[in-house]
Amino acid sequence: MPRITLPDGSVKSYDAPVTAAQVAADIGAGLAKAALGAKVDGVLTDLATTLDRDCALAIVTMKRREGGIDPEALSMLRHSTAHIMAEAIQRLFPQVRLVYGPALDTGFYYDMAFPDGKVPSTDDFARIEAEMAKIVAEDRRFTRYDLPLMEGMTKLRSEGSKYKLDNAERAAEAGSTTLSWYATGTPGKDWEDLCRGPHVPSTGRVGAFKVMSLASSYWKGDETSDRLTRVYGTAFASKAELDAHMVQLEEARKRDHRVLGKQLRLFHIDDMVGQGLILWTPKGSIIRNELQNFIGAELRKQGYQQVYTPHIGKLGLYRTSGHFPYYRESQYPPIVEHDEMARLAAEGCSCADLSNRMAKGEVDGYMLKPMNCPHHIRIFASAPHSYRDLPVRLAEFGTVYRWEQSGEIGGMTRVRGFTQDDAHLFVREDQVAQEVLGCLSLVKIIFATLGMNEYRVRVGLRDPDSAKYVGDPANWDKAEQACRDAARSLGVPFSEDPGEAAFYGPKIDFVVKDVIGRSWQLGTVQVDYNLPIRFDLSYAGADNQAHRPVMIHRAPFGSMERFIGCLIEHFAGAFPLWLSPEQVRVLPISEKSAAYADELCAALKARGIRAEADHSNERVQAKIKVAAEEKIPYMAVVGPRDAESRAVSVRARGVEANLGEMPFDSFVDGVVREAEGRLLSGAPGTVQASFAARPG
Ligand SMILES: [Zn+2]
Ligand SMILES: [Zn+2]
């Protein structure tokens, strides 16, 4: 006699066990039609699940009650589509051995082995999709059946599928006493797959789908193991959503910083140097330098002092800070000095011994710095401070090193060495609010200059039920309020996340939304009560007693690598004038105007503008095409007539037509003004906008 509690608190009682589908039908025909799955006591399951005891039931549909797509429903739909794709591929490639096919945030994949070497290619996608469409049209039910573990194993052994057998063994190790299959239709007759589920009710419910790409992988990620083919696909509830996804992917592909970085020669990653280690080419270095100069100048205005610190530090330093031996798996291994190494070798010390003895502090060494804070702390501690000296604000574009698994790195967003726009503020308790506010006002200026107007902040607060936090609760209250107030002052959306604070203090994170709607998590501002204690920092108060300062860590843009990766995609490589590696390309129409072109180029360079003349023998149309591909903001086309009238024909990036003519000096002045003003392309005050503003 199950009593079933629904999300609105109402209860339905039944005399006999009932399926979730039946309950949905009893609630309403509309819900029964939209239902894809069920949540029983919070666990996602099939709609066909029988309810034989009291439980809480929520019917899962693609749309959530509070609006928007239900991610669990979407994930179920995608995994169901993975089954359909696997069946379709098996029809076309009968030798295939299936391994594993989970859903992803953007779709799904299925790992497959092709023992005969006949592997599908992108040319087969249309055929696979056509087979999938047939299976969808047949609208077969996903039918689950369970077998006791041993019986299930015997079945898998008889089918000779070592991959599925391995999946089953792992399920057994995790405590499963039964194995489940999902037949697409009737068990024993239709296609089936060993699977935990859940699935949507039938193949007709999967919506719009597409086979996306192929990649090679290894069984269990082990390179010495069987080579597998990973077939990626995606699925959405509707064709419109799939189409929107494809448009976004295409836009993202055009903006991909890895592709643009290579095409525009902004950075290079070299196997001989090491994966995840960015080599900044001359062009990329210009962007980074301009950005650092800009941020650096704003920091100076706010009373920050520049410092420089080395890339390594002694293990003892990080033992004091708490970075070692914890977080060891995210750091490069330590460096041991020659003499120490020789002594240890003579003792017959093994690598394992060495590692243990370093962790215990019996052997010292150096570490590539994972954080800049300890170095800055030692600068602060190197001199006595009075309450009148505070805040002390130490800033450095500090390079740090973190160990990332090789599978996780790529481009500028996951790297093993990166430069933070770091600073540490040593402040009095009563200065925390003011200083957090200062950090945010700086961020606001920089985002506004870059035209990144859609961003939000997350304020990480204490978990009210936890006692893990260091520092005085009264100070925490003040610091949390300071973070909230500062976040509110930005006038952008912000959320409060209880439990997201570090154990040592509350924080503010920045998330930027790019032009195509993707979110980039950038940097952070963190209040810290812990490191001043660990390093026993103090300043002399007005009472002449020693007082403990509070630290604020801030790297609002995270790292220069990640931030510039984000900027490349934000601007799609078309940087505003001030950030562009080459700002003006001078294009002489012929040899006759070469001298005039050089004169213009020299005049621009003399004013600090990065200008080059294209003296190639190409026709001017070809020169324009090259400059456009290189995304150079302005082209100055000069011919013999321009030389005579001392004028320039101006073209702007992204504008098909010639903007018109401008006197030589006005053009040079205009470009300088636009660069120095750090104006966005086409904004009021730019050379481009001055043409639009001209009458007639
Ligand atoms: Zn499945
Ligand atoms: Zn720090």
Query: Whole-angstrom Cα distance, residue 428 to residue 534?
Result: 17
Q: Which residue has the higher pLDDT, 143 or 322?
A: 143
Task: Look up residue 271 and give its two tokens.
Answer: 């196997």
Q: Is 170 within 8 Å of 107 (Cβ atoms)?
A: no
Q: What is the mean pLDDT of the chain?
A: 91
CA of 144, nearest ligand number: 1
Q: Is 424 a catalytic residue?
A: yes
Q: Which residue has the higher pLDDT, 331 or 381?
A: 381
pTM of the full structure: 0.76
H/E stretch holding 290: helix 282-301
Query: Whole-angstrom Cα distance, residue 220 to residue 218?
Result: 6
User: Has residue 548 got a pLDDT over 90?
Assistant: yes
User: Has residue 653 got a pLDDT over 70?
Assistant: yes
Task: Look up residue 186 and give its two tokens.
Answer: 């009737």
* Predicted confidence (pLDDT) per residue in 255-305, tens digit: 899 999 999 999 999 989 988 999 999 999 999 999 999 999 999 999 999
CA of 249 to the centre of ligand 1 (A): 26
Query: Whole-angstrom Cα distance, residue 131 to residue 26?
Result: 36
* Predicted confidence (pLDDT) per residue in 65-89, tens digit: 777 889 899 999 999 999 999 999 9
Largest CA distance in the chain: 99
From the list 144, 257, 416, 420, the catalytic residue is 420
CA of 191, nearest ligand number: 1
Query: Whole-angstrom Cα distance, residue 373 to residue 694?
Result: 53
* Predicted confidence (pLDDT) per residue in 212-224, tens digit: 999 988 888 778 8
List the end-to-end C-alpha distance of the chain, in Å, as a whole number.
Answer: 83
Q: Which residue has the higher pLDDT, 332 or 406?
A: 332
Mean pLDDT of 33-50: 94
Mean pLDDT of 556-585: 94
Q: Is 385 a catalytic residue?
A: no
User: Has residue 471 got a pLDDT over 80?
Assistant: no
CA of 81 to the centre of ligand 1 (A): 9
From the list 553, 585, 631, 653, the catalytic residue is 553
CA of 57 to the centre of ligand 1 (A): 22
**How sure is the predictor about 595, in pLDDT bands with cuts at 50, 70 and 90?**
very high
Query: How far, rounded to the nearest angstrom, does the alpha carbon of residue 337 sit from its chain's CA centroid?
Result: 37
Mean pLDDT of 59-66: 86
The confidence score (pLDDT) of residue 463 equals 87
CA of 266 to the centre of ligand 2 (A): 28
The confidence score (pLDDT) of residue 39 equals 94
Mean pLDDT of 610-638: 95
Query: How far, rounded to the nearest angstrom, does the alpha carbon of residue 388 sit from its chain's CA centroid?
Result: 41
Task: Look up residue 544 and give its two tokens.
Answer: 């002449």
Mean pLDDT of 163-173: 89
Work out the angle at residue 661's Cα, subtended by the Cα atoms of residues 659 and 662, and round it to the nearest 5 degrees: 115
* Predicted confidence (pLDDT) per residue in 177-221, tens digit: 999 999 999 998 999 999 998 999 999 999 899 999 999 888 887
Task: Look up residue 338 and give its two tokens.
Answer: 């020659």
CA of 375, nearest ligand number: 2
CA dihedral 376, 382, 385, 389 (to 10 degrees): -50
CA of 309, nearest ligand number: 2
Query: Whole-angstrom Cα distance, residue 579 to residue 556?
Result: 19
**How sure is the predictor about 638, in pLDDT bands with cuts at 50, 70 and 90?**
very high
Q: Is 614 a catalytic residue?
A: no
Q: Is 257 a catalytic residue?
A: no
The runs of H, that is alpha helices, within 404-510 are 432-449, 473-489
Scored b (16 or more CB within 10 A) or e, 657-672 reads eebebbebeebbebbb
Mean pLDDT of 512-524: 82
Scored b (16 or more CB within 10 A) or e, 84-95 reads bbbbbbbbebee
Query: Whole-angstrom Cα distance, residue 521 to residue 524?
Result: 9
User: Has residue 528 got a pLDDT over 70?
Assistant: yes
CA of 422, nearest ligand number: 2
CA of 422 to the centre of ligand 2 (A): 7
Mean pLDDT of 459-477: 84
Query: Whole-angstrom Cα distance, residue 2 to residue 652?
Result: 72
User: Has residue 470 got a pLDDT over 90?
Assistant: no
User: Has residue 618 got a pLDDT over 60?
Assistant: yes
CA of 103 to the centre of ligand 1 (A): 9
CA of 505 to the centre of ligand 2 (A): 12
From the list 257, 375, 416, 507, the catalytic residue is 507
CA of 497 to the centre of ligand 2 (A): 21
Q: Is 79 a catalytic residue?
A: no
Helix axis angle, 560-570 relative to 282-301, nearest 10°? 110
CA of 102, nearest ligand number: 1
CA of 20 to the centre of ligand 1 (A): 19
Q: Is 199 a catalytic residue?
A: no
From the list 39, 376, 424, 562, the catalytic residue is 424
User: Has residue 328 got a pLDDT over 80?
Assistant: no
CA of 407 to the centre of ligand 2 (A): 27
From the list 127, 210, 258, 402, the catalytic residue is 402
CA of 523, nearest ligand number: 2
The runs of H, that is alpha helices, within 351-415 are 351-360, 373-381
User: Has residue 696 got a pLDDT over 60?
Assistant: no
**How sure is the predictor about 409, in pLDDT bands with cuts at 50, 70 and 90?**
low
Q: Which residue has the higher pLDDT, 273 or 503?
A: 273
Burial label for 191, CB within 10 Å (0-12, 13-18, 19+), is middle
**How sure is the predictor about 161, in pLDDT bands with cuts at 50, 70 and 90?**
confident
Residues 6+ apart with CB under 8 A from 472: 529
CA of 130 to the centre of ligand 1 (A): 21
User: Has residue 400 got a pLDDT over 90?
Assistant: yes
Q: Which of 346-355, 549-558, 585-594 has the lowest mean pLDDT?
A: 346-355
Read off the amino acid at residue 643: A
CA of 108, nearest ligand number: 1
The confidence score (pLDDT) of residue 26 equals 93
CA of 54 to the centre of ligand 1 (A): 27
From the list 193, 256, 421, 422, the catalytic residue is 422
The neighbour count for residue 551, using CB atoms within 10 Å, is 25
CA of 374 to the centre of ligand 2 (A): 8
Query: How far, rounded to the nearest angstrom, does the alpha carbon of residue 458 sit from its chain's CA centroid?
Result: 16
From the list 373, 439, 483, 601, the catalytic residue is 373
Q: Is 583 a catalytic residue?
A: no
Q: Ligand 2 (ion): which residues have CB within 5 A? A: 373, 553
The confidence score (pLDDT) of residue 299 equals 94
Nearest residue to 364 via CA among 312, 416, 400: 312
The confidence score (pLDDT) of residue 693 equals 67
**How sure is the predictor about 140, in pLDDT bands with cuts at 50, 70 and 90?**
very high
